[in-house]
Amino acid sequence: MKIALAILHSDPARGGAERYTVDLAQALGRRGHEVSLVAAALKPQVEVTSPTVEAPYRTVLLKGGGITRTRRYRRFVDSLDEHLKTETYDIVHAMLPVRQCDVYHPHAGIAASGARKANAIFNPRRRAMADVERALIDGPNAPTVITLSNYVERNLREFYPTAQTATLFNAVDLDKFDPTQHPEAGMAIRQELSIPNDAVVALMIAQDFERKGLRQAIEALSLVNDARLRLVVVGKESTAPYRRLAERLAVQARVTFAGPTGKPYAYYQAADLFVLPTKHDPCSLVVLEALAMGVPVISTTFNGATEVMTQGEHGVILPDPLDVAALANALRSMTDNDVRHAMHHACLTLRPRLAYETHLDHLLAIYHPITRNRPPLAE
């Protein structure tokens, strides 16, 4: 098949959706499909003019410039329309709201839901995306909407009760995230970050620190009177307000801001547990990667990824992302070496359920009826 994967930014360091899209382009290309990664911004490490063994896809750079984020988004949508006038694909698979696609895969959740929030009036891009999404799903050529979890499916039905959907749980490349491959990588990260060998490292990898619960994680850390417990934060966002919070709570020595990374493997190896007290996450890829690496997880019921977990077996699932005391209790319980050891082995048993090849098979099964029912092009 000839497949276009559309995303605004093609930068694996930005987060789950961007990294997923690059990984998907590579995986579909390895399966023999003709894949174009279509974006308004490309990082050099993913920019490919023609397929290679290392990157079996090509990239297409569209116009997406503008002074504001809203303008950049609108220009990308317009540019994609122009591109699709001159290039024909069997499948157009969009990771964000666009005007035309066969598969809509909203990694950030339903745009209409985000636009309904009280602060959306101050976020014109969020409203613009909701408008494009509504016209797309309610339009005459509505795509199949891929929901990343039952949590997202329920959310979508509030706004689009008749949408055609398919649930496709996120997956992990088990070869890339195999804890037996490079066990020394974690020690190297600890040394680089000056973290003692006996420290209990709680790792957070996130973008949008406020939504993902970094404030609550730092506040909870301050309630755990165990000097061994450290919080390592990986992400691109500004850390200044969180550094000030850590200083105010006198835990600045126990919080390490490591900056962004496109290669999180070593951080998982360095971690004893993963913490993501998110307020909303359709299906957090980093949580699934942590589980595949045998790292127990603390997250919330507002994260679709926790649907694969069993409470108390693979970690802790919190019902309220704002309950700092409950988060502190969860962190405190996981400073116990025996508890973490048992959870580590339980997490490893989840690996077959998270396999990327199974995910890819399911995705291609979603593609198949779309291409089969597509009318032939007029000669």
Q: How many CB atoms lie within 10 A of CB 340?
A: 18
CATH of the domain at 262: 3.40.50.2000
Domain shared by 165 and 211, yes or no: no
Mean pLDDT of 83-109: 95
**3-class secondary structure, 9:** strand
Domain shared by 128 and 42, yes or no: yes
Q: Which residue has the higher pLDDT, 91 or 48?
A: 91
Q: Is residue 178 part of a domain?
A: no
Percent of the chain topping pLDDT 70: 95
Q: How confident is residue 146, by pLDDT bands cut at 50, 70 and 90?
A: very high
Q: Is residue 30 part of a domain?
A: yes
Mean pLDDT of 138-158: 93
Domain shared by 231 and 338, yes or no: yes
Domain shared by 289 and 221, yes or no: yes
Q: Is residue 31 part of a domain?
A: yes
**3-class secondary structure, 255:** strand
| DSSP run (H or E) holding 274 | strand 273-275
- The beta strands (E) that lie in 7-164 are given as 9-10, 34-39, 41-42, 58-61, 91-94, 103-104, 144-147
> pLDDT tens digits, residue range 216-240?
999 999 999 999 999 999 998 999 9
Q: How confident is residue 14, by pLDDT bands cut at 50, 70 and 90?
A: low
Domain shared by 211 and 333, yes or no: yes
* Residue 113: per-residue pLDDT: 86
* Residue 120: per-residue pLDDT: 56
* Residue 379: per-residue pLDDT: 43
Domain shared by 150 and 266, yes or no: no
Q: How confident is residue 299, by pLDDT bands cut at 50, 70 and 90?
A: very high
Counting the structural domains of the chain, the total is 2
Domain shared by 82 and 142, yes or no: yes
Cβ atoms of 168 and 359 within 8 Å: the answer is yes
Q: Is residue 294 part of a domain?
A: yes
Residue 378 has pLDDT above 50, yes or no: no
- Residue 284 exposed, middle or buried by CB count within 10 Å (0-12, 13-18, 19+): buried
> pLDDT tens digits, residue range 337-371?
999 999 999 999 999 999 989 999 999 999 999 88
Q: Is residue 177 part of a domain?
A: no
Domain shared by 157 and 286, yes or no: no
Q: How confident is residue 122, by pLDDT bands cut at 50, 70 and 90?
A: low
Domain shared by 67 and 157, yes or no: yes
> pLDDT tens digits, residue range 195-210?
999 999 999 999 899 9
Single out the residue of 43, 41, 174, 163 nearest to residue 106, CA to CA: 163
Cβ atoms of 362 and 354 within 8 Å: the answer is no
Domain shared by 348 and 359, yes or no: no
Single out the residue of 97, 102, 11 nearest to residue 59, CA to CA: 11
Cβ atoms of 230 and 267 within 8 Å: the answer is no
Q: How confident is residue 108, by pLDDT bands cut at 50, 70 and 90?
A: confident
Q: Which residue has the higher pLDDT, 35 or 10?
A: 35
Place of tokens 């694909």: 89
- Residue 52 exposed, middle or buried by CB count within 10 Å (0-12, 13-18, 19+): exposed
Q: Is residue 89 part of a domain?
A: yes
Task: Indicate the average pLDDT of the chain.
Answer: 92
Domain shared by 284 and 333, yes or no: yes
Residue 15 has pLDDT above 80, yes or no: no
Single out the residue of 6, 183, 207, 191 nearest to residue 95, CA to CA: 6
Q: Which residue has the higher pLDDT, 379 or 218?
A: 218
Residue 25 belongs to domain spanning? 2-171+355-373
> pLDDT tens digits, residue range 300-310?
999 999 999 99
* Residue 42: per-residue pLDDT: 81
Domain shared by 35 and 77, yes or no: yes
- Which range among 118-127, 231-240, 265-274 shows the weakest confidence by mean pLDDT? 118-127
H-helix segments, 213-271: 214-223, 240-248, 265-270
Q: How confident is residue 19, by pLDDT bands cut at 50, 70 and 90?
A: confident
CA distances (Å), origin 87, targets 38, 60, 83, 254: 12, 11, 6, 53
Q: Is residue 10 part of a domain?
A: yes
Residue 118 has pLDDT above 90, yes or no: no
Backbone dihedral angles phi then psi of residue 300, each to the nearest 5 degrees = -130, 170
- Which range among 12-21, 175-184, 208-217, 282-291 shows the weakest confidence by mean pLDDT? 12-21
Residue 284 has pLDDT above 60, yes or no: yes
Q: Is residue 209 part of a domain?
A: yes
* Residue 371: per-residue pLDDT: 83
Q: Order of strands, edge to edge, in the sheet holding 273-275?
A: 255-259, 229-234, 200-205, 273-275, 297-300, 315-318
